[in-house]
């Protein structure tokens, strides 16, 4: 009896775990762009997601490829679209490669995270 229950239950769980991924908030596009090379330091980072976000639980960290973490402002939501985070940079970034690690909670309460890089040309 036990084994008869196990397999359908496993299949059910697998489908539940697999399908909501489509409804999570994933990074759709960013400014500077994912993997992009830009000619000058941006004044802020913009990250647009596939779903609206809960700003209190969403943010980014910025690191230079050459080393330390760079302090950034608190992430705020776009007034016009609740799927876009704005993160002000305190001061101009020198040329180099930077890693943006984002963590967000979407309005369906699911957390997601990821990392991308961009480069400021010398």
Query: Which stretches of the chain bind Cu ion, using CB under 5 A?
Result: 23-24, 108, 110
The least CB distance from residue 112 to Cu ion, in Å, is: 8
Please, what is the minimum distance in Å from the beta carbon of residue 109 to Cu ion?
Answer: 8
Give the nearer residue to Cu ion in terms of CB position, either 69 or 108.
Answer: 108
Burial of 66 (0-12, 13-18, 19+ CB in 10 A): exposed
Rg over alpha carbons for the chain, rounded to the nearest Å, is: 18
- The least CB distance from residue 61 to Cu ion, in Å, is 22
Nearer to Cu ion, 1 or 56 (CB): 56
Angle (CA) 75 77 79, round 5° = 145
Tell me the C-alpha distance between 14 and 58, whole Å.
Answer: 27
Q: Which is nearer to Cu ion, 11 or 23 (CB)?
A: 23
């Amino acid at each position: 009896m036990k084994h008869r229950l196990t397999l359908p239950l496993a299949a059910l769980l697998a489908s539940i775990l697999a399908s909501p991924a489509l409804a999570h908030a994933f990074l759709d596009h960013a400014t500077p762009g994912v993997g992009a090379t830009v000619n000058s330091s941006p004044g802020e980072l913009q990250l647009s997601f596939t779903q609206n976000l809960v700003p209190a639980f969403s943010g980014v960290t910025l690191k230079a490829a050459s080393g330390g973490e760079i302090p950034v402002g608190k992430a705020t939501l776009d007034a016009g679209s609740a799927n876009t985070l704005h993160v002000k940079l305190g001061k101009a970034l020198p040329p180099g490669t930077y890693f943006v690690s984002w963590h967000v909670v979407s309005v369906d309460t699911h957390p997601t995270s990821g990392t991308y890089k961009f480069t400021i040309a010398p």
